[in-house]
Amino acid sequence: MPDIPLTTLALLCLAAGGAGWVDAVVGGGGLIQLPALLLGLPHLPTAYVLGTNKAVSIVGTGAAAVTYTRRTRIDLRTAFRIGLAAACGSLCGAFFAAGIDSAVLRPLIMVVLLTVLAFVLFRPSFGSAPATGPVSRQRVLVAILVVGTGIGFYDGLVGPGTGTFLVLALATTLHLDLVAASATTKIVNLCTNLGALVMFSYQGRVLWQLAALMAAFNLTGGLIGARMALKRGSGFVRGVLVVVVVSLVVKLAHDQWFA
């Protein structure tokens, strides 16, 4: 592990805790953790930052997934099938990432996020009511092929807001309330993170000592966030969702026009 000042190390740990909390509630913790790693380790090759970020994130995501599965009803079979499709899509997205100009993609992502924000704000009832019956096989197939593969591909290609997109897409296609959609998202994210971590580990691009320290804080944040989401319900998740989407739009706008 490189020599990191104590102050920087403390800030990275706090960022990991905050990212774990946001990820557990609604997704989008990478908005906090990845920029913190890039700022705190400016001279480190980007591949090591990405690998370390995945090693930290998978701990908090895994803990949140376990908490959700213990305290709320989740269709685990469907969740893991979507997760497998998302992992395959993420691998394909990562393959094409080198040839894509992110400056071209950012405006498109901002339009999508603003559409999502408008949808959430102008439909207050969205995600507040639980499913009224079993989901059809057609909807499950759409969730696997379109949501899993498509958003997984986006995760490998670009990344920001993947968890948020998954929550909204799963709530829409599977008729889930936002708490159940967040719970399912954790399992899908766990699959995509695991696939990426295996590759980064194979390439030797993970700072394991730093990752272990940050993971302890990410784990704590993930556990707290999952319990708060379960306790406070869909209204709380919806509020956090709005904040995360606005933050993603602001960050992407800054990267596009001011960075």
Give the end-to-end CA distance of the chain in Å, rounded to a whole number. Answer: 28
Q: Which of 61-70, 116-125, 191-200 has the highest mean predicted lDDT (pLDDT)? A: 61-70
Domain boundary assignment for the chain: 6-257
What is the C-alpha separation between 219 and 117, in angstroms, rounded?
Answer: 28
Q: What local confidence, expressed as pLDDT, does residue 181 receive?
A: 87
* Strand positions, DSSP E, 2-101: none
What pTM does this model have? 0.76
Token code pair at residue 125: 């009832």
Q: What local confidence, expressed as pLDDT, does residue 141 receive?
A: 93
For the stretch 175-217, pLDDT in tens is: 888 888 888 988 998 888 887 788 788 888 889 999 999 999 9
Yes or no: say if 179 and 71 are a contact pair by the CB < 8 Å rule: no
Yes or no: say if 49 and 206 are a contact pair by the CB < 8 Å rule: no
How many degrees, rounded to 5, is the angle at CA 110 between CA 108 and CA 114?
120
Q: What local confidence, expressed as pLDDT, does residue 172 receive?
A: 87
DSSP string, 71-133: HS---HHHHHHHHHHHHHHHHHHHHHHTT--HHHHHHHHHHHHHHHHHHHHH-TTTTTS--SS
Q: What local confidence, expressed as pLDDT, does residue 51 receive?
A: 85
Yes or no: say if 244 and 32 are a contact pair by the CB < 8 Å rule: no
